[in-house]
Every structure is written in structure tokens, then in C-alpha cells.
Structure 1
Amino acid sequence: MSYVLNDAADFADESADGFVAAHRDLVRRVRGGVARAAATPAGQVAVVIGGGSGHYPAFAGLVGPGLAHAAAMGNVFASPSAQQVHAVAKAVATDAGVLLTYGNYAGDALNFDQAQEQLRAEGIHCETVRVTDDIFSAGSDEREKRRGIAGDLAVFRVAGWAAEQGRSLDDVAALAARANERTRSIGVAFSGCTLPGADAPLFTVPEGQMAVGMGIHGEPGIETVPLPKASELAAMLVERLLAERPDGAADRVAVIVNGLGSVKSEELFVLYGSIAAGLEAAGLVIVDPEVGEYATSFEMAGVSLTLLWLDVELEKAWRAPAYTPAYRKGVIEVAIADATSEDAPSDDETITAATTEEAAAAGRVAASALSAIHAAIDSDVDELGRLDAVAGDGDHGIGMQRGVRAADAAAAAAVRAGAGAGTVLTRAGDAWADKAGGTSGALWGRGLRAIGERLGNAAAPDPRAVAEAIAAARDAVQAFGKAKPGDKTLVDALVPFAQTLVERVDAGVDLVTAWKDAAAAATTAARATADLLPQMGRARPHSQKSLGTPDPGAVSLALAVTAVAAALAEHDALEEKEN
């Protein structure tokens, strides 16, 4: 657990600020993350890595010559938002382009892909390589669905080296992809980790047992087996990875033995001794092994083994020098830092006031709805985290709380400027996506923006306009996230909510009653997700564990729309009293 913190919601930002303060000669703070202190050399591809906080030295600690040019840093165990990724990439991009590379998780893919689209639209060449090294997260026939764990380091090292050689963006991306295709990892855990501010671990492992195939976000293991001796553990790790040897791979391998937080150097060396013996007995030649902490999970007690099967080019990359706050190898020249140490966030968009009092009043109603959602999420944040921890990473409650706090504040600022409902909701959606990150942050941001764009600011919307706006949000969320009813996501609650609202409005029912009925339908549907198996996201590898537990995204959506129903009813009651 975390003993040193102020407000858990500010933990990631305060940690990043302290990290930069400790390494000002190597890194600078940029909006959304950190970048090398010196500008990217002209004509050099910028390698941008990233992911959630809580994994140091991944990702900020790997920024520096020979490795990444910048890291987009999300909140704890949550992907950075598209806005963060875009801002970080812009801070280091050159005419040579940008490579985005990160572990393959649903939220990261959504947000990095959205940022890539924006970068390309602005004329910045951009390619992506997702790391898929974890052999336990999907079968060998579905490698594209595997998540990225400590194998991130291998891919990042190769990408950074290729960029330093002055290679083209296509060449850098191709070599990084080749490294990913030849990288395999497996992890085990002896105990779970606890998020900052939480009073219990995300999962527990029975005494004398070991969870095999856990994730670096606190996802529990796929199997639980008796805790073996170090030599037996090493034999199991080696055997499992050798069974996944890439076709045509030679006999030279890079090795990473990674501690996940509580297993320290001496124990890792004991394990590595047996691993090295096993690999050599299998006829493999070990090249520059790395034994230490490279992708952690707070205080999780666990280890992982990564193998990168080398060819001539990959070996050059693996052996190349690098100099970052947390990873140093060989001798490398470090460029002199820029004069500025921080690129401050900027927001040049001016809020335009609504043209009529009626439209401004609609903006106030929209803001009060967001305040109601804020209160509902705050009261249930722990329960949402508990639901998420059953088969996921346990951060859903915290992520929702960060997102709705930002959305509420953005909506309030828009109301103070006299904005209508459209502006209030679009700015709230953007703030939610930016501060929450992760899959839910991206989806809520996209949904709120769709509602705001459909409603506009011209006048107070009637029930038909509201129903159509909710239907537009449903369509936007499904198009963006690719989920459908039955996948055990928030879509399972959103679809019946939108459908019921449209049907009730079509029947001539007033908005408050229609919304209450739709919220009831969403609540029923959210409870019914307990009978479903997840088909998407971090919970998918642990689908059986989630059976009997409702989806946290569906539950939080039902909580939100139920809170809005009460806010709308209160608004109507006040209006009637005033009239």
C-alpha cells in the first residue's frame, strides 16, 4: 500500500512533478506527461511511449537518449487520454514523424489511436506499434489480443535505437514490430497490490500459492498453483516461454527478469541463476541480461520473465547505449537541456455565451445534471472499485471519480460564462476524457460530446431533442468502443436506456417521467450483466471470475442516469413552485 500521499486523486500528477524535479537534467514536464529535456534532433523520429502510472520505471523513467523521446502518463492504472497523448507527441515531434508504442490494453488503444488520427490530420506522420508479449492473456492464435507487460522494455529499446540511427518512420516502426513479434513474457504473483488511498489489495493470493499469468495493473492470475522453489519456478517460466518460440528464431536471446515491486534484487538473482541455467541447457545464448525492476505494480509481490529472440539488427539495438533516469547502459552523449523545463498546458478556446436566457438556463440544467452524477459517483466510488477488482484492475471507481470531478468543474466554468447546454456538455466531455483517461474516460467523453453537439446552444431542448441526443451518444460510444450488447460493458446499460427514453418520449410522456423509466431500464440491465462473460477489455482474460458480478461500467452508467433523473425532477419541482 502507499504510505506517502496527499489526495489519492492527485497522486499521479504529484508523483510526476516530483520525478521531473529530481531529474531536470534529463526530462521536462509537458502537458500529459514528460519529454526529454533537450529537443528532438531535426530529422529524427520521435518515439513516444506511455500508459498508466503505477509502473515505474515504466513509463517516465524510460525517457532519454537511446530510449524514448517522451512518455504520455495516465492516472494510476489508467491509460493516458487522447488529449494527453496528442500533447506529448506534439511536444517532441519533428518532420520525421512520431512512433507511438505502448502495451496493448483497450483504453490505451482507444486513446492512442484517437491521438494518432488527430496527429495525422495535422500533417504529422505517425505510426503505432502495440506490445503484445504476455503469453497468458490470449492464445498463440490471437496474439493481437495479448497485453503488454515487461516486454515493453524490449520493444522500446529497439524503437529508440532505430530512431537514434536516423531511420525513417516506416523503418523504425517495422523494426519495433519485429521486436514485438519475437518477444514473449510470462508473470507470476505471490500477493496483490493496493492502489493509493485504498485500504485493501486488488486481489489476494492464498498463503503458499502463486498466481500465474497476472497483469501489471493488478489483474489476478489465470491459474493458482502451489508456490514452488526458485529452481522449479524458473523451470516453469522457461518451459512456458520456450514453447512459444517464434518460427525461425535463432538461438540468441535477450532476457529480462522483472520484479513487480516487492521482490527485490537478491531474490531476483536467485531466480535468474536458475533461469540462465535452464536457457543455456536448452541451447540458447543469453545476451546482456537485465535483472531488476522495469515494469512494476506498486508493492505487488511478483516476477516476470521476458525473452526477445534476437537477429543481427535486434541484437545491435539491445546492446546499444541508453541514458535515462531509470535505465542506463554503456556510454552515450546527453544533449544539453532546453532553456525551458516545462511546457505549460494552454486552453485558448473562448466560451461563447448563449444568445438567450432560455438557452443559458438549459446550460445550467446540464451542469446540475453533471453535479448530480458527481455526487453519485463519489458516494459509490469504493463499490465501483470493488466490482472492477473482481476481474479487472480495480481502478474504475477512481477513474470515474477523476473524470466526473473534471467534468463538473468544466461545466461550472462554462455556466459562469453563460454557455448553453451544448457548450457545457462538450467541454465537460473533453474534461472527463482528459482527466479520467482509460476506456471509460474515453467513452464518457465521447458520449457527452455527442450529446452536446446534438443539443447545441440555440434554445432549451425539448424532450424529443434530448432523446435524440442520448441516441446520438449511444451511437457514438458504440462506434468508438466497438462494443455491442452482451459484451459486458457500459453499452449493456446505455442501449436500453437510450431505447426506453426514445420510446417513452414518442409515447408523449414528459421528460422527467421518461428519463426515470429509462434509468430504471438501465439499472435492470446493469444488474443483468452479472450473468454475462466479458468479451472486451482487461476483464476478458478472467471472464469466468466475473460471472455473478455486474459490469462496473454498466453499473456506474446506471448510477449516473438515475442521479440525473432525480436532478431533473428537482428542477421541474422548483420551476413549478416559482410559477
Structure 2
Amino acid sequence: MTRLFNEPAAFADEMIEGFVASHGRWVRRVSGGVARNTRSTPGTVALVIGGGSGHYPAFAGLVGQGLAHGAALGNLFASPSAQQVYNVAKAADNGSGVLLGYGNYAGDVLHFTQAQDKLRAEGIDCRSIAVTDDISSAPLAERHKRRGIAGDLTVFKVAAAAAEAGYDMDRVMETARRANERTRSFGVAFTGCTLPGAPQPLFTVPAGRMAVGMGIHGEPGIGETDIPTADQLAELLVKDLLSEVPDGLTVQGARVVPILNGLGSVKYEELFVVYRRVAQLLAEAGIEAVDPQVGELVTSFDMAGTSLTLFWLDAELEELWLAPADAPAFRRGAVSAQALDAEKLTQAAEVQSVIPDASDESRKTAPTVLAALEAAKAVVDASVAELGRIDAIAGDGDHGIGMERGLHAAAAAAADAVERGAGAGTVLNLAADAWADKAGGTSGALWGMALRAVGQSIGDVDRPSAETVAAGVAEAKRSIMDFGKAKEGDKTLVDVLSPFSDALTAAVHGGSSLHQAWGAATIIAEQSAEATANLLPLMGRARPHAEKSLGTPDAGAVSMALIVRAIHNTLVENNVENNVENDVEKNTVKENA
């Protein structure tokens, strides 16, 4: 369990602050994470890595000469927001483009892709590499669906060395892809991990048993077995990894980097005992071990477990792997590291958003938008534990925490915008940015997109109508399904959003007022959320454990149904009707101070 913390919600920020204070030789704090505190060669590609906190030494510990130029750091087990990734990339850019590296998780893919798009729009050559080394998370035919675990290190190290050597972006990208194709990992766990302030682990393993094929975010394993001896564990790991040799390679005579990774609570001495047998098995198979790594490299907070990674080398990959590096958690050889000028160490102050002009009608509606967000926050606050319990059955158990972070940030941003005289559309847009930025993860990205779609639809000129609200929800549905690639039946929030949007639009077109249409659609949303219990997940972290979730509704679908019900209650309480432009006196929107 986690024993040392202050406020759980502040843990990640305070951790980063302490890390920078103790590792100032290598890193400096930038908005969204950390960047090198040493001079990089101008005109070279910059590698920016990242993911959720809770995995140290990944990701901050891999920033330094010969390794990453920066790391975007999300909350515990939650991907950094697109804004965080963008900020770190801007701080790290050397003038020849930025390569973004991350594990293949839905939230990371969404946020890093959004940041990539924003950087490209500014003329920066930006590419991405999603690490897919975990052989337990998808079959070989679906390698693109596999998640990234300890193989992050091999891909990041090789890509960084290529950039340091002056490779152009195309060559850096090709090298990173080849490293990813030649990296395979497999892991086990003996206990789950417990987040700061949480009363219980994200998952448990029965006494005397071992979870096989676990993830690094608290996802339970794909199977269970009795705890083996150290030698038996080594034999299991090596056997499974050697059953999937990268295309075009043979085992006999291969040169391979073995990485035996501790996940947080297994002692180094235990790992050495296991590696003793791993080394024997590799030698017996005719494999030459090159520069073995044994220790904690990609952890899962306090999880007791280990994973084995095999990185199959060629001559170029070996040279890049062995190239000098000097980062807080990974060092070899001698590198050149000059200190930055003092003025470059100063982090830019946060710039307060500009509030655009708005009509009186739109400003009068803004407090109702705030009231709806406050109601959503209250219902999620009351449901955090249950949402986490549902999510932990097949996922990582942090959905409630992530939604709580996002809604608190959204409500605070909305309150500030209302105080500064913003119109309804701007209130939603600023709330959307805050939600995505502070929540991170898949839900943060998707809810940020949803709020922004509605905010852009209602705008700051006219009083919001049923038609503009319904159009905004429909656009939210379209953009989320297009960007996240989920469809109805995949057991995601789309299974609620899609029928809710359709019902809302139909009711509005039928002449219902906003609160009447929203109320009718809310019933559909609640029924749809319940119906997800009969589905198997086809997207996200729950997919590898699909059968475990049968009979339990999707956490994202449940939270969406809770929120649309809370919004409906707010609409009724504030007497919000449809054709307000034609009957302002009848349908005055009450302002909430």
C-alpha cells in the first residue's frame, strides 16, 4: 500500500516537484512535465516520451543526454493531456521535428495524437511511435492492439540515440519502428497496486497464486497459476517469449538484450535469482545476451511482479542501444552535458485565457452551464468508489478518480469564466480544456471533446436553444466516434452517447422543449448504460479481459448516464425551455451566484 502522501489529488504534482528538486542536474520543470536541463544539439530531432505517473523510472527518469529530451507526465495511471504533451514538445524542440513516444493505451493515443496534430498545424514535423511489446495483451495477428510495458525502454533508447547521432526524422522514425517490431515482453504479478488514499488495491491475487499477463496500470492478468519457484518462473517467461520470434529471425545465434523488470515491490535480490535461470535458458537456446538489464525500469507503483523483455538486435540497433546516455535512471558511457543558460531555466508563467465578447442573453445562460457542471461534479463525487469498482473488474480501476479530477477542474474553470463575464459557449469551451488537461486518460480526452462540441454549437451570441444544444451533442457523438474509433456495441460511453444523442435530436425535432427532450433522452441513456452489462468490451484496457466484464456495465457508460441525469435535473430546476427567444419572460434562466 502507499503510505507516504499528503492530499491524494496532489500526489503526482508533488512527486514531480520533488523529482526535479533532487535531479536538477538532468531535468527542469516545464508545464506538463519535465525537459532536459542540459543543452541539446540544435537541428536534431527531439524525443518526447510520456504517460501516466506511477511508473518511475518511466517516464521522467529517462530524460537526459542520449535519451529523451522531455517527458509529459499525467496523473497516476492517467495519460497526460494533449496540452501537456504539446507544452513539453515545444520546450524540447531543437528545430528538426519532434518524435512522440508512448505506450499503446487508448488515452495516450488520443492525447498524443491531438498534440501531434496541433504541432503539425504550426509547421513542426511531428511523428509518433506507440510501443506494442506485451505479447499477452493481443494475438500476433493484432499486434497493433498490444499495449506497451517494459519494452518502452528499448524503443525510447534506440530512437533517442538515433536522434543524438543526427539522423533525420525519417531515419529516427524507421529505427524506432524497427526496435518496436523486435521487442517482446511478458509479465506476471503476485499482488495488485494501491493508489494513494485508496482503501484497497486495484486488483487482488489470491494467496499462493500468481496473475499471468498483467498490465502496468493495475489491469488484472489474463490467467492465474500457483506461485512457481524462481527457476520455474524464468522458464515460463522465456518459453512464452521464445514462442514468438520476430519475423525473419532465428533463435540460434541471435543477439538479444534481456530486461528483467521489477514492477515495484519485488526485491532486486529476487530478480537476480530469477535472472540467473533466464541467462542459462537463453544460452541453452543459442542466444547471446547483450548488456542485460535487471531492476526497476517500468514499474506499476507498488505492484509485486516482474516482466521479461527480449530485444532482438541487428548491428545498427545494437550500436544505438549501447550508445552513451546520462539520465537519472539510466546511464552508460560518457556524454557531453553543458548547463543551460539561467534564463532558459525559467518556466513561462501561465497565461490567463482571454474571455471573448458575449451577448447579454448568452451571459445570462452561463450560470446554468456552471450549475450543470456542479451537479455533474456532485453526482460523480458521490459515485467515485462505485465507478472505480466497476472499472477494476476488467480495467485499471481509476475511472472514478479520473472523472472526479476532470469535473473538479471543469467546474472551477467554468466558475472563473462566469465570474469574468463569459458567454455560455466560452464557459463550456474553457471547462472542456480544463477537464482534458487535468483528468488525462481516455475519459479526459473524450469529455473534453464533448463539452467543446456543445460549447462551439451554442456559441456566445444567442441564448442556447434546444436545437443548438442537440446539434452540439450530435457533433460530440460524431467527433468522439470518429476520433476514438469506438462504435455502438464496443462497450464504451458511445453505447450511451449515441442513443442519447439520437433520442435528444428526435425529441427536439418533434417540438419538445429542451428539458423535456433531455429528460426523454436521459431515460434512454440510463437504459443503454444498464444494457452494456450484456456486452463484451472491444476497445481500451478492458478488451484483454473481456469475459470478466460480462454482467457488469461499462464504467464510462454508467458515468455518462449519471451526468446526463444530473444535467436534466439542473435544466428543470432552472426552468430552461426550448423557444426562449420567443418567450423570454416565461422562461427566464435563473442565475446562480
Q: Same fold (TM over 0.5)?
A: yes
What SS does the aligned partner of 2:290 have?
Answer: strand
| Distance change >3 Å, CA 578–CA 311, structure 1 → 2 | closer
What's the counterpart of residue 522 of structure 2? 519
What's the counterpart of residue 68 of structure 2? 68
Q: Deviations over 1:9-52 (max 9, x none)?
A: 11111111111111112100111110001243201110111011
What's the counterpart of residue 582 of structure 2? none
TM-aligned CA deviation for residue 312 of structure 1: 0.7
What's the counterpart of residue 555 of structure 1? 558
Distance 2:340 2:557 in 1: 47
> % of aligned pairs identical?
59
What amino acid is the match of 2:418? V
What's the counterpart of residue 268 of structure 2? 265
What's the counterpart of residue 580 of structure 2? none
What SS does the aligned partner of 2:6 have?
Answer: coil
TM-aligned CA deviation for residue 469 of structure 1: 1.7
What amino acid is the match of 1:14? E
Distance 2:273 2:341 in 1: 43
Distance 1:575 1:121 in 2: 43
What's the counterpart of residue 206 of structure 2? 206
| Distance change >3 Å, CA 353–CA 416, structure 1 → 2 | farther
What amino acid is the match of 1:66? G
Gaps of 5+ in 1: none
Contact 1:24 1:341 in 2 (8 A): no
Distance 1:244 1:6 in 2: 45
Contact 1:188 1:210 in 2 (8 A): yes
TM-aligned CA deviation for residue 343 of structure 1: 2.1
Q: Deviations over 1:392-433 (max 9, x none)?
A: 111111111111111111111111111111101111111111
Contact 1:26 1:337 in 2 (8 A): no
Distance 1:420 1:298 in 2: 43
- Per mean C-alpha deviation after superposition, the further-off stretch among 524-533 and 462-471 is 462-471
Distance 1:207 1:300 in 2: 15
TM-aligned CA deviation for residue 348 of structure 1: 4.9
Distance 2:371 2:351 in 1: 24
Gaps of 5+ in 2: 577-585
What's the counterpart of residue 114 of structure 1? 114
Is 1:295 paired with 2:298? yes
TM-aligned CA deviation for residue 130 of structure 1: 1.2
Distance 2:589 2:314 in 1: 77
What SS does the aligned partner of 1:306 have?
Answer: strand
What's the counterpart of residue 7 of structure 2? 7
Contact 1:45 1:94 in 2 (8 A): yes
Contact 1:40 1:93 in 2 (8 A): no
Contact 2:574 2:590 in 1 (8 A): no
Contact 1:101 1:130 in 2 (8 A): yes
Distance 1:48 1:23 in 2: 18
What's the counterpart of residue 80 of structure 2? 80
What amino acid is the match of 1:319? L
Is 1:422 paired with 2:434? no
Distance 1:408 1:457 in 2: 18
What's the counterpart of residue 219 of structure 2? 219
Instruction: Select 1:354's aligned residue among 352, 358, 380.
Output: 358
Distance 1:138 1:373 in 2: 36
What's the counterpart of residue 173 of structure 1? 173
TM-aligned CA deviation for residue 144 of structure 1: 0.9
TM-aligned CA deviation for residue 280 of structure 1: 0.5
Contact 1:31 1:345 in 2 (8 A): no
Distance 1:576 1:316 in 2: 71
What's the counterpart of residue 387 of structure 1? 390
What's the counterpart of residue 238 of structure 2? 238
| Distance change >3 Å, CA 165–CA 548, structure 1 → 2 | same
What's the counterpart of residue 186 of structure 1? 186
Distance 1:134 1:384 in 2: 27
What's the counterpart of residue 496 of structure 2? 493
Superposition pairs of residues 371-382 of structure 1, within 5 angstroms:
371-382=374-385
Is 1:447 paired with 2:450? yes
Distance 1:258 1:576 in 2: 62
What amino acid is the match of 2:57? P
What SS does the aligned partner of 1:572 have?
Answer: coil
Distance 2:346 2:401 in 1: 27
Contact 1:486 1:492 in 2 (8 A): yes
What's the counterpart of residue 35 of structure 2? 35
Q: Deviations over 1:83-128 (max 9, x none)?
A: 1111110101122111111111111111111111111110111111
Distance 1:431 1:132 in 2: 30
Distance 1:2 1:446 in 2: 33
What's the counterpart of residue 404 of structure 2? 401
Q: Deviations over 1:248-300 (max 9, x none)?
A: 23510001000000001100000000000000000000011000000001110
Instruction: Select 2:367's aligned residue among 364, 367, 370.
Output: 364
Instruction: Select 1:479's aligned residue among 462, 479, 482.
Output: 482
What's the counterpart of residue 140 of structure 1? 140
TM-score, length basis structure 1: 0.98
Contact 1:49 1:68 in 2 (8 A): yes
Contact 1:37 1:338 in 2 (8 A): no
What SS does the aligned partner of 1:559 have?
Answer: helix
What amino acid is the match of 1:302? G
What amino acid is the match of 2:521? A
| Distance change >3 Å, CA 338–CA 293, structure 1 → 2 | farther
RMSD: 1.6
What's the counterpart of residue 437 of structure 2? 434
Q: Deviations over 1:323-344 (max 9, x none)?
A: 1111112222222134143424
TM-aligned CA deviation for residue 578 of structure 1: 8.3
What SS does the aligned partner of 2:383 have?
Answer: helix
What amino acid is the match of 2:462? A
Distance 2:53 2:350 in 1: 23
What amino acid is the match of 1:449? R
Contact 1:253 1:287 in 2 (8 A): yes
What's the counterpart of residue 277 of structure 2? 274
Contact 1:108 1:439 in 2 (8 A): yes
Q: Count how many residue pairs are aligned between Structure 1 and Structure 2.
A: 578
| Distance change >3 Å, CA 469–CA 165, structure 1 → 2 | same
TM-score, length basis structure 2: 0.95
Contact 1:353 1:417 in 2 (8 A): no
Contact 2:38 2:64 in 1 (8 A): no
Q: Deviations over 1:227-261 (max 9, x none)?
A: 11111110110011011111223510001000000
Contact 2:390 2:553 in 1 (8 A): yes
Is 1:324 paired with 2:327? yes
Distance 1:402 1:18 in 2: 22
Contact 2:49 2:101 in 1 (8 A): yes
TM-aligned CA deviation for residue 345 of structure 1: 5.0
Q: Deviations over 1:367-408 (max 9, x none)?
A: 111111111111111111111111111111111111111111
TM-aligned CA deviation for residue 575 of structure 1: 6.5
What amino acid is the match of 1:354? A
Distance 1:59 1:253 in 2: 23
What's the counterpart of residue 579 of structure 2? none
Contact 2:39 2:339 in 1 (8 A): no
What amino acid is the match of 2:84? Q
Distance 1:423 1:570 in 2: 22
Contact 1:25 1:337 in 2 (8 A): no
Find runs of 4+ consecutive structure 1 residues off by over 3 angstroms.
Answer: 573-579
Contact 1:131 1:152 in 2 (8 A): yes
Q: Deviations over 1:429-450 (max 9, x none)?
A: 1111111111110000011001
Contact 1:429 1:446 in 2 (8 A): yes
What's the counterpart of residue 541 of structure 2? 538
TM-aligned CA deviation for residue 66 of structure 1: 1.1
What SS does the aligned partner of 1:55 have?
Answer: coil
Distance 1:33 1:104 in 2: 19
- Per mean C-alpha deviation after superposition, the further-off stretch among 217-226 and 329-338 is 329-338
| Distance change >3 Å, CA 246–CA 450, structure 1 → 2 | same
